[in-house]
């Protein structure tokens, strides 16, 4: 049986965060905490692999105790086990410190619950937006790494290989590698299912496994939390709204408006830059 | 700023062994990505401010010409690793080469394009070293000697804020930077520089990953790299009118974008979506057609150089960020614009940039 680990982060829904125009600070109040949706596409793919090949799915999350909510959501969807790694010592971690703790966590999951074949992460988180934790975890565990995956084409158990499609800026790459592997999931990968009623009932009483710093005997405290984070946020600011003096193009007919606008356009550097009329001249 | 620098110096180790700004060039089949030359342009400024060399790393198979090109785009020294097993990007063999170069050369700053490949590679390397890595920067600067800190700024919270990130305790300082934000230097074929060969670090037999095939995007559609975007929104009322936008985009050498409303309605594919949950773009020219300008859309396009808005509603928020606005019926104005542009293009007298005149001796 395959053992799949899915990394899930609970994040403030940054799409809902607003800036207070008076103080230029973030309004965090009332912003819902959600499971990072890219991660949920990873879970969905794990569930589909489970249905096709048979698998045990362990979901891991590093975060404060309320993150239990997202883990319960994963259980309701069909994950078999959830682990919450939570400790004040882990707080303030950047991507390097996060990948250290997630690496230790997945190693411990493998030691206690069986060797891991596939790790899923989301392509990035909604709040961090870096896409760095997936490659970081792969590096920590010395796993093969397949990022920006939107399709798992096949899993070859006999040869222990997996073939996926990666979506890049300039096309699609089909790549095969050995397992264990870490995959980062795109939202184009699948449509996340709704939780079935039995799943919701199971999740209601489910208690995730809780690990703190005490549960990792070899933990290097200089590598976790704020202390273990090389990057420092020096300042944040709200970019000034560019003040634009809008010129309204008036005219009697649409054609007249169009002509006036084109004259304005041709008075800029753009025609020269793009060679809009060079073709006719050469 | 002076005081701030003093304070920031106190808790910093001695990094004098690390010097130079390094750009990792991304290529496919012997053609470099635009973002790589853009980063050389920006890296040149940083290197000059720090009074160090600008270094480039070229990895691939039959890529010697890219090393030459990198010099033409501003690099002083190029580390070139050319080997058959490096033809396609694969994380392990590529990251081993970059790690070897970083260990030997000790640059103080290493920059990658914030592309799928750049992020994949940078994430692996930063963890290996280890060092700090800042993602997706849109502003790069350095503090002068002695602190020499990289000031890596990036959007945060769905583009609503900017954050400046520092890395004091580790070297090199690393960042990925967004395509289309920085400007490449004009190519100078006469520029001099040094090319240093680097051996490959893995043999094919040691590499597990196999690229089976690459299906190049046939339409070469890349919203983020487009310099002209004609975007449509709810006002289009259906998928058909996007054909009008295509005509205008084609006349101006651009591509078609869309608001979330148009994508959610199923009128056009998500890859065209501008704004939150879509792409952030900053083309030279952005024409918003039938887009009211919800905040979610504005954050994705308001940094475009020139913005033209066409909308029925004079009070639409899109006009607040537009340089030129036309109030009216897009179904009449867009075809009129297509015609006006096509006719104007035929007039040679428009306003052609004069050829630079060579000064006679």
Chain A hits for B347, Cβ within 8 Å: 277
Quote the tokens at residue A83: 């682990």
A229 interfaces chain B, CB cutoff of 8 Å: yes
A169–B324 CB contact, under 8 Å: no
| Residue carrying structure tokens 């490659």 | A135
pLDDT category at A225 given cuts 50, 70, 90 is very high
Q: What local confidence, expressed as pLDDT, does residue A19 receive?
A: 72
pLDDT category at A88 given cuts 50, 70, 90 is very high
**A102: closest CA of chain B, how far (Å):** 13
Lowest-confidence segment of A39-43, A128-132, B220-224 by average pLDDT: B220-224
Q: Is the pLDDT of residue A241 over 80?
A: no
In chain A, which residue's Cα lies nearest the Cα of B223? A169
pLDDT category at A157 given cuts 50, 70, 90 is very high
B157–A170 CB contact, under 8 Å: no
State whether the Cα torsion A167-A168-A174-A175 is positive or negative: negative
Chain A hits for B136, Cβ within 8 Å: 129-130
Sheet holding B139-142, edge to edge: A231-237, B161-167, B150-156, B139-142
pLDDT category at A131 given cuts 50, 70, 90 is very high
Region A29-50: mean pLDDT is 94
Question: How many Å separate Cα B257 from the centre of its chain?
Answer: 18
Q: What local confidence, expressed as pLDDT, does residue B207 receive?
A: 98
| Residue carrying structure tokens 């990057």 | A231
Region A227-241: mean pLDDT is 87
**B142: closest CA of chain A, how far (Å):** 13
Q: Which member of A231, A255, A271 has the closest CB to residue B351?
A: A271
ipTM for the predicted complex comes to 0.89
Region B285-311: mean pLDDT is 91
Q: What local confidence, expressed as pLDDT, does residue B353 receive?
A: 45
B212–A169 CB contact, under 8 Å: no
Say which residue, A26 or B38, is predicted with more confidence: B38
Q: Which member of B156, B296, B325 has the closest CB to residue A249?
A: B325
For residues B250 and B338, what is the distance between their CA atoms, to the nearest angstrom?
9
User: Are A151 and A118 spatial neighbours (Cβ–Cβ below 8 Å)?
Assistant: no
pLDDT category at A16 given cuts 50, 70, 90 is confident
Which of B124, B127, B172 is the mutation pick for testing A, counting most A CBs within 10 A? B127
Q: What local confidence, expressed as pLDDT, does residue A126 receive?
A: 84
A177–B210 CB contact, under 8 Å: yes
pLDDT category at B219 given cuts 50, 70, 90 is low
For residues B19 and B198, what is the distance between their CA atoms, to the nearest angstrom?
19
Q: What local confidence, expressed as pLDDT, does residue A278 receive?
A: 56
User: Are A265 and A271 spatial neighbours (Cβ–Cβ below 8 Å)?
Assistant: yes
Q: What local confidence, expressed as pLDDT, does residue A23 receive?
A: 73
Helix (H, G, I), strand (E, B) or coil at A178: strand
Chain A hits for B220, Cβ within 8 Å: 170
Q: Is the pLDDT of residue A99 over 60?
A: yes
Q: What local confidence, expressed as pLDDT, does residue B308 receive?
A: 97
**pLDDT (tens digit, 9 = 90+) per residue, A55-81?**
999 999 999 999 999 999 999 999 999
For residues A105 and A112, what is the distance between their CA atoms, to the nearest angstrom?
10
Q: What local confidence, expressed as pLDDT, does residue B348 receive?
A: 63
Chain B hits for A242, Cβ within 8 Å: 302-303, 321
Strand positions, DSSP E, chain A: 2-7, 10-12, 18-20, 25-27, 33-35, 55-62, 81-85, 118-122, 144-156, 161-168, 171-178, 181-185, 209-211, 231-237, 247-248
Chain A hits for B284, Cβ within 8 Å: 270, 273-274
3 state SS for chain B:
CHHHHHHHHHCCCCCCCCCCEEEECCEECCEECHHHHHHHHHHHHHHHHHCCCEEEEEEECCCHHHHHHHHHCCCCEEEEEECHHHCCCCHHHHHHHHHHHHHHHCCCEEEEECCHHHHHHHHHHHHHCCCCEEEEECEEEECCCCCCCEEEEEEECCCCEEEEEEECCCCCEEEEECCCCCCCCCCCCCCCCEEEECCCCCCHHHCCCEEEEEEECCCCCCCCCCCEEEEECHHHCCCCCHHHHHHHHHHCCCEEEECHHHHHCCCCCHHHEECCCCECCCCCEEEEECCCCCHHHHHHHCCCCEEEEEECCCCCCHHHHCCEEEECCHHHHHHHHHHHHHHHHHCCCCCCCCCCCCCCC
Lowest-confidence segment of A43-47, B270-274, B296-300, B350-354 by average pLDDT: B350-354
In chain A, which residue's Cα lies nearest the Cα of B220? A170
Q: Which member of A144, A232, A262 has the closest CB to residue B168?
A: A232
A230 interfaces chain B, CB cutoff of 8 Å: yes
| CB-CB neighbours of B61 under 10 Å | 16
A272 interfaces chain B, CB cutoff of 8 Å: yes
- Measure CA of the first residue to CA of the last residue in chain B; give whole Å: 48
Which of A231, A255, A276 is the mutation pick for testing B, counting most B CBs within 10 A? A231
Q: How many residues comprise chain A?
A: 282
Instruction: Please provide the average confidence, as pLDDT, over all residues in chain B.
Output: 91
Q: What local confidence, expressed as pLDDT, does residue A25 receive?
A: 73
Lowest-confidence segment of A17-21, A33-37, B240-244 by average pLDDT: A17-21
A131 interfaces chain B, CB cutoff of 8 Å: yes
User: Are B80 and B64 spatial neighbours (Cβ–Cβ below 8 Å)?
Assistant: yes
Q: What local confidence, expressed as pLDDT, does residue A274 receive?
A: 83
Which of A169, A235, A256 is the mutation pick for testing B, counting most B CBs within 10 A? A169
For residues B37 and B35, what is the distance between their CA atoms, to the nearest angstrom?
6
**A222: closest CA of chain B, how far (Å):** 12
A27 interfaces chain B, CB cutoff of 8 Å: no
**pLDDT (tens digit, 9 = 90+) per residue, B149-190?**
999 999 887 667 889 999 999 999 999 998 878 889 999 999
Greatest alpha-carbon span in chain A: 79
Q: Is the pLDDT of residue B312 over 70?
A: yes
């Amino acid at each position: 049986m395959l053992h799949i680990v899915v990394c899930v982060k609970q994040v403030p829904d940054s799409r809902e965060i607003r800036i207070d125009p008076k103080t230029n600070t973030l309004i965090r109040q009332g912003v819902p905490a959600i499971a990072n949706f890219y991660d949920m596409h990873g879970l969905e793919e794990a569930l589909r692999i489970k249905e096709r090949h048979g698998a045990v799915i362990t979901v891991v999350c590093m975060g404060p105790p309320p993150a239990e909510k997202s883990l319960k959501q994963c259980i309701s969807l069909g994950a078999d086990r959830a682990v919450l790694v939570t400790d004040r010592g882990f707080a303030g971690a950047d991507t390097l410190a996060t990948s250290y703790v997630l690496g230790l966590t997945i190693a411990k999951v493998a030691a206690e619950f069986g060797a891991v074949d596939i790790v899923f992460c989301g392509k990035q988180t909604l709040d961090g937006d870096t896409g760095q934790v997936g490659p970081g975890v792969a590096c920590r565990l010395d796993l093969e790494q397949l990022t920006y995956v939107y399709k798992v084409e096949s899993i070859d158990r006999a040869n222990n290989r997996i073939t996926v499609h990666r979506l890049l800026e300039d096309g699609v790459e089909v790549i095969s590698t050995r397992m264990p592997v870490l995959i980062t999931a795109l939202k184009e990968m699948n449509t996340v299912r709704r939780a079935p009623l039995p799943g919701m009932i199971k999740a209601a009483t489910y208690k995730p496994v809780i690990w703190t710093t005490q549960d990792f005997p070899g933990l290097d405290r200089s590598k976790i939390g704020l202390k273990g984070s090389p990057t420092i946020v020096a300042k944040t600011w709200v970019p000034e709204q560019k003040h634009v003096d809008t010129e309204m193009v008036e005219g009697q007919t649409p054609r007249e408006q169009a002509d006036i606008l084109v004259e304005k356009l041709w008075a800029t550097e753009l025609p020269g830059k793009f060679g809009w009329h060079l073709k006719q001249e050469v | 700023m002076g005081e701030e620098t003093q304070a920031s110096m106190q808790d910093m180790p001695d990094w004098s062994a690390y010097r130079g700004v390094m750009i990792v060039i991304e290529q496919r089949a012997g053609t470099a990505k635009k973002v790589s030359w853009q980063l050389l342009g920006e890296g040149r400024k940083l290197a000059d401010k720090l009074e160090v060399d600008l270094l480039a790393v070229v990895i691939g198979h039959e890529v010697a010409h890219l090393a030459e090109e990198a010099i033409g785009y501003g690099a002083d020294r190029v580390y070139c690793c050319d080997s058959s097993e490096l033809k396609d990007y694969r994380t392990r063999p590529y990251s081993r080469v970059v790690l070897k170069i970083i260990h030997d050369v000790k640059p103080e700053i290493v920059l990658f394009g914030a592309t799928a490949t750049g992020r994949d590679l940078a994430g692996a390397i930063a963890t290996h070293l280890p060092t700090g890595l800042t993602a997706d920067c849109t502003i790069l600067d350095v503090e002068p000697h002695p602190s020499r800190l990289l000031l890596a700024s990036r959007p945060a919270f769905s583009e609503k804020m900017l954050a400046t990130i520092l890395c004091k305790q580790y070297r090199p300082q690393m960042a990925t930077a967004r395509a289309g934000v920085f400007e490449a230097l004009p190519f100078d074929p006469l520029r001099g520089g040094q090319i240093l060969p680097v051996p490959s670090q893995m043999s094919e037999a040691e590499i597990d990953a196999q690229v089976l095939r690459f299906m190049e995007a046939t339409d070469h559609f890349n919203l983020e790299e487009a310099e002209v975007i004609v975007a449509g929104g709810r006002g289009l009322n259906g998928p058909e009118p996007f054909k009008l936008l295509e005509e205008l985009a084609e006349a101006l050498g651009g591509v078609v974008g869309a608001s979330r409303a148009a994508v959610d309605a199923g009128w056009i594919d998500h890859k065209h979506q501008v704004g939150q949950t879509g792409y952030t773009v900053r083309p030279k020219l952005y024409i918003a057609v039938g887009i009211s300008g919800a905040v979610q859309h504005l954050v994705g396009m308001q940094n475009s150089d020139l913005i033209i808005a066409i909308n029925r509603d004079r009070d639409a928020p899109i006009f607040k960020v537009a340089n030129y606005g036309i109030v009216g019926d897009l179904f009449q104005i867009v075809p009129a614009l297509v015609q006006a542009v096509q006719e104007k293009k035929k007039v040679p007298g428009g306003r052609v940039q004069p050829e630079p005149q060579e000064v006679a001796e």
